[in-house]
Chain A
Amino acid sequence: MFIFVINFMENSIDRHKSEKLYVQLYEILRKKIESADWVVGSQIPVEEELCKTYEVSKATVRLAILELVRQGYLIRQQGKGTFVCKRIIPEGLSMSTSFKELMLDAGIDFSTEVLAQTVMMPTDDLDVKLNVSEDQHIIYIKRLFSVDKEPILLQEAFIPRDVCPSLLEEDVANDSLFELFEKKHGIKITKVKDYLLITHLTADEGLFLGLPEGSSAILLEQHFFSGDTHIMYMRSIKQPGRFRFYIEFDRKAS
């Protein structure tokens, strides 16, 4: 997977720059989308036209478009063309990413509504999931994340109260749980286990996400550890079509 480092602002290709041409073109086209010069749903110009406009080869245009598709800015429709699509939030499965960081990285404004910040006992199999005793109090935090007033992520976090009792009084609307754990309370997250599956929304979940009951959605279940201690179980239901997961592998040199 390509990782771009973009550090120029021009709207035209500069052949004297060290950056590859397709990287420059990617950045120009990305800005067109982000500034709504190319609006969501519109078809982008055909390859020949882009070649002509930016005075580059077809290969350069293809590489730039390919990366825009990969980054979730464009979508290709067989036999119809390439269209600007709703910004998809790329979500790495890297353990260090939080929703807030991903949003900030992607330059997307979002809002957070705290639906619950309370305490409960572990029911069903929550005690097994968190590896705690049945009489352990659990801090329960439920939040709804929205972009442009559209709800896109419903998240429930279950934290054994013993791990961080003051979490009950923290400002979880503005601070990410990871920041609170690591920066404020010195609880280092050392391991995350992610399970990604398709779920069908309950009536309650559908209500929050603005989707009918039974709709398919992405469910990300995460188990967070600090050393050997299981510090949090998180359940995130994501609006389909608004997230794209990627896994980046680095091959170790032999």
Chain B
Amino acid sequence: MSNGKTVKDVMIDVFEFPHIPYWFSIKQAIGITKKALLTSDKCLHPLIMLVFDEKYNLVGTLTLKDIIGGLEPKYLKATTKAQVPKEDESGLALLWDTLFDSEAKQAAERPVSEAMAPTKIFLKPDDPLTKAAYLMIHNDLILLPVLEDKKKFVGLVRMIEIFNEVSDAIFKG
């Protein structure tokens, strides 16, 4: 894939993705997600929302998985100290499902900052695509934000951009 392309050659506009401030509730985020799913031309898979602070700094991302995880009753969240034995998982899932109805509404009032995945890894516009691929694979990420001069948020690189470049290299190269 070392085709000389850099991050800025493939990155996409940040305004292709829904923006939300960190203080929005999970319920508001669900509403925006539902609307985004209906608006097919703006729905770039995987659907993800960008979470910003008061000064328009990117602080996190929110996926469907984060939203659903944010509705999970707190006491059922896995901890490193108490690993759940495999044989108990089906029963626990049933309990989780039951509690969804009664607690989901309450949990949905929590801010998205409690459910989002904080953004810690960034790319620079001039970084090679190999770096983007490496960071995604080794950090289990589906997209990476691109910052100019370590501050200005200028774009995003998704897994699909990397995949397209890889497939071009395989089939055309």
- A sample of 6 inter-chain contacts (CB < 8 A) reads A116-B21, A117-B55, A118-B56, A121-B20, A135-B39, A140-B21
B54 touches A117 (CB 8 A): yes
Any B CB within 8 A of the CB of A115:
yes
Known: A115-B54, A118-B55, A135-B18. 18 other contacts (CB 8 A): A116-B54, A118-B52, A118-B54, A118-B56, A119-B52, A119-B56, A120-B19, A120-B24, A121-B18, A121-B19, A123-B31, A123-B32, A124-B28, A134-B39, A135-B39, A135-B42, A140-B21, A168-B56
A142 to B20, CA, bound (A): 15
Residues of B within 8 A of A (CB): 15, 18-21, 24, 28, 31-32, 35-36, 39, 42, 52-56
Any chain B CB within 8 A of the CB of A137? yes
When distances are taken between beta carbons in the complex, the residues of chain A under 8 Å from B21 are 116, 118, 120, 140
Report the separation of the CA atoms of residues A116 and B19 in the bound assembly, to the nearest whole angstrom.
Answer: 14
Q: Identify the closest chain A residue to B43 (Cβ).
A: A135
Residues of B within 8 A of A117 (CB): 54-56
Q: Is the CB of B24 within 8 A of A119?
A: no
Q: Which residues of B contact A119 (CB under 8 A)?
A: 19, 52, 56
Q: What chain B residues lie within 8 Å of A135 (beta carbons)?
A: 18, 35-36, 39, 42
Say how far A132's CB is from chain B's closest CB, in angstroms: 12
Please name all residues of chain B whose beta carbon is closer than 8 Å to the beta carbon of A168 when the two chains form the complex: 56
Mark each residue of chain A from 214 to 232: 1 if its CB lies under 8 Å from any CB of chain B, else 0: 0000000000000000000
| Closest B residue to A133 using CB positions | B39
Q: Which of A119, A133, A140, A142 has the most CB atoms of chain B within a 10 A radius of its CB?
A: A119
- Give every chain A residue within 8 A of B55 (Cβ-Cβ): 116-118
A133, B91: Cα distance in complex, Å: 44
CA distance A142 to B56 in the complex (A): 12
Scoring A residues 110 to 154 as 1 if CB is less than 8 Å from chain B, else 0, what string do you get? 000001111111011000000001110100101000000000000
Complex CA–CA separation, A135 to B41 (angstroms): 10
User: How many angstroms from the CA of A131 to the CA of B165 in the assembled complex?
Assistant: 40
